[in-house]
């Protein structure tokens, strides 16, 4: 049982050594892009929600 657990962690460490980790600049650029796109999508959903709410109020009244 404990041999399998040790083997698992050893193999996991070997696989993590093979990963091509991004540089700091790539990481910061990707993070900034994700934040900007998140705000753009949120703004788009807000506008659509506002317009549809307004249209529903006009239709109901």
pTM: 0.66
Are residues 22 and 30 in contact, defined by beta-carbon separation less than 8 angstroms?
yes
39: Cβ contacts below 8 Å, ≥ 6 apart: none
Of 43, 48, 42, 44, nearest in space to 56 by CA:
48
Say whether pLDDT at 10 is over 80: yes
Q: Is the pLDDT of residue 4 over 80?
A: yes
Work out the mean pLDDT of the chain and round it to a whole number: 94
């Amino acid at each position: 049982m404990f041999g399998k657990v040790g083997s698992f962690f050893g193999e996991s460490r070997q696989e993590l050594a093979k990963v091509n980790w991004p540089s700091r600049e790539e990481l910061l650029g990707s993070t900034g892009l994700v934040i900007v796109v998140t705000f753009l999508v949120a703004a788009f959903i807000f506008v659509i929600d506002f317009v549809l709410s307004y249209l529903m109020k006009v239709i109901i009244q």
